[in-house]
Amino acid sequence: MNSLLIKNGTVVTATDKYQADVLVEGETVSMIGAQLDVSADREIDASGCYLFPGGIDAHTHMELPFMGTHASDTFETGTLAGLHGGTTTIIDFAIQTQGESLEAALESWHKKADGHAVGDYAFHCAVTDFNDDTRKEIPHIINEHGINSFKVFMAYKGFLMVDDRQMYELMEELVKHGGILTTHCENGDMIDRNIQKNLEAGNTSPKYHVLSRPAGCEAEAAGRAIDLAHQTGCSLYIVHTTCEESLNRVKIATMRNQKVHVETCIQYLLLDESEYFKDGFEGAKVVMSPPLRKKKDQEALWAAIQQNLIQHVATDHCPFCMDQKAMGKDDFSKIPNGGPGIENRFELLYSEGVTKGRIGLNKFVEMTSTGAAKIFGLFPRKGTIAVGSDADIVIFDPETKHTISAETHHMNVDYNLYEGWQVQGKARTTILRGTVAIDEGQAFVGEGFGKYLKRPPFDPRY
Ligand code: URP
Ligand code: ZN
Ligand code: ZN
C-alpha cells in the first residue's frame, strides 16, 4: 500500500484549524498529528499552506443534452478542470427524458461518466415525468443505485418542468423511502408568458432573458416548493438560490420549525445583472437560469451564508461555447442556458470570501465541501480531513496570486465568466484518494480515475 506524508501544513475543517502532519495510507487518511515521526513512500512539504478537504460541487451538468445542444465539458474534461481548481467530487444530475424511465437516465449518465470521469462523482436523479411507473422506481434508485437526492424543475416548460401534482406525489414517495428533493425554483408558466410577450414585441437580445425571469418568479416557486415540502414532511434542498426574496421564503419557513436546505452558486455571489446589458452579444455569456440578480441580492446571499441559511456554494457548471450560445443570436430564448465555473469556484470563494473578510476559513470549508457532504450522505468519507476519511486534500497556498483567463483555464469552453479577475490563493496540489492528482498545474491522473459514489438513504437530522 502506498503512503504519503504531508508535513507542516495547517489542517482546516468546517470546525477546526491546527498545524499538523497528515499520513495517508492507500486511499485514506491514517494518522494526523504534530510532527509525526513516521516514514512514508513520499513526503510533501506544505509549509505556509492550508490543507483543505477536497472540494465538492453538488451541482454540475457535464455533457448535458440541453436546448438543442450539449454542455461542452465531458465528465473527463469537466472533472479534470475541477481537480485543477481543488474540487475532487461532483454530484451531477442524471435527467430523465419525458416518456422514458429513471433507470434509462441513470444508464445514460453512467455511460458518460464511468471510465471517463477523472474526479469522483455521484448523481442526483432528476424526475421530469412522474407517473405510476416512475413511482415504482424510487426505492430501487435509493437502495440499489445509492442515490438519495432527486430533483424537479419548476421551469423549462414543455421539456423538463413538472406540475405541482407530480412534485407533491414525488415528495410523498421520498418521505416513504428516504430521499431528499432538490428543486429548481422558477415559475415556468410566468416565464413562458413573459418570453412570449417579449418576442412578440421584437425584444430578442440577451437582456430579455433576465427581464423575463424576475426575482419574484423565483421566490414564488421557492415558496410553493417549501409549502409542499412542509405539507408532506419531505426534506427539501433548493438549488441555485439567487435572491433576497427567495431567502425570505426560507426564513419564514424556519418560523414554523421547517428546515430548508439552501444552495447558492459562486456566480450569484460575485456577478450581477449588469452583465446582461453589455454591448452586442456579450450578455449571452451569462444567460443562465435563474439569472444573475442585483447587488442587494449578493449582499443578502453573503449574509445568508453567515446566518447558516445557506449550506453550500456550488457552480451549476453547465458550459456552452460562444458558437453554441449563438443559436440564440436572434432570439434570447434559444440561447443555451448555463455557464462555466467548476475550476474557479474554490479559489474565488477563498479570494472574494476569506481574503476580503466576508467569511472565515471554517465557513469556507463548510461551503465548498462539508455542507454538501453532510446533506447528500457523503460525510465523513468526503467533506473533512479525519482519520478514516478519503484522502481528498487540497494543499492551498493562500499567498499565490493569479489572473483568471480562458487562455489558461482547463474547462472546455472558450470564455470565462471571471476573465481578468485577480485572485489571491490557489490550489497548489490536489490529492484525490491518496493520489496526487494535480501538482503545480500538472495533471498526474487521467480518464477513468474517478469513482462512482453510492450514498445511503437521506438522514433528515442533517
Ligand atoms: O442555466 C442553467 N442553470 N442551466 C443548467 C440547467 C439548470 O437549470 O440547472
Ligand atoms: Zn436549474
Ligand atoms: Zn443546474
pLDDT in tens, 417-448: 999 999 999 999 999 999 999 999 999 999 99
**338 pocket-lining for ligand 1 (C-beta < 6 Å):** yes
3-state secondary structure of 342: coil
The whole model's pTM is what?
Answer: 0.98
Residue 226 phi, psi (nearest 5): -65, -45
What whole-number distance in Å separates Cα of residue 167 and Cα of residue 224?
10
**DSSP sequence for 75-89:** HHHHHHHHHHTTEEE
> pLDDT grade, residue 34 (50/70/90)?
very high
Checking 356-361 for CB contacts under 8 A at 24+ apart, the result is 358/302, 358/305, 359/302, 359/305, 359/306, 361/12, 361/17, 361/50
> pLDDT grade, residue 461 (50/70/90)?
confident
Segment 140-159 shows an average pLDDT of 98
Count the Cβ atoms, other than its own, within 10 Å of residue 156. Answer: 19
Residue 395 Cα to ligand 1 midpoint, Å, equals 31
**417 pocket-lining for ligand 1 (C-beta < 6 Å):** no
**288 pocket-lining for ligand 1 (C-beta < 6 Å):** yes
For Cα atoms 229, 232, 237, give the angle at the middle one, nearest 5 degrees: 25
Tens-digit pLDDT profile for residues 231-277:
999 999 999 999 999 999 999 999 999 999 999 999 999 999 999 99
**92 pocket-lining for ligand 1 (C-beta < 6 Å):** no
**Ligand that lies nearest to the alpha carbon of residue 337, given by its number in the listed order:** 1
Per-residue pLDDT at 462 exceeds 90:
no
Tens-digit pLDDT profile for residues 308-339:
999 999 999 999 999 999 999 999 999 999 99
Question: What are residue 365's DSSP bridge partners?
Answer: none
Peptide bond into 380 cis (omega under 30): yes
Give the closest residue to 95 by CA, choosing from 338, 381, 291.
Answer: 338
From 57, 59, 61, the mutation candidate for ligand 1 (largest count of ligand atoms within 8 A of CB) is 61
From 268, 289, 333, 335, the mutation candidate for ligand 1 (largest count of ligand atoms within 8 A of CB) is 289
Cell 416565464 maps to which residue? 191
Residue 149 Cα to ligand 3 midpoint, Å, equals 14
Residue 289 Cα to ligand 3 midpoint, Å, equals 8
Residue 285 Cα to ligand 2 midpoint, Å, equals 16
> pLDDT grade, residue 460 (50/70/90)?
confident
> pLDDT grade, residue 35 (50/70/90)?
very high
C-alpha radius of gyration, the chain, whole number = 21
Q: Whose CA is nearest to atom 8 of ligand 1?
A: 289
Residue 215 Cα to ligand 2 midpoint, Å, equals 14
Per-residue pLDDT at 392 exceeds 80:
yes
Q: Whose CA is nearest to atom 9 of ligand 1?
A: 316
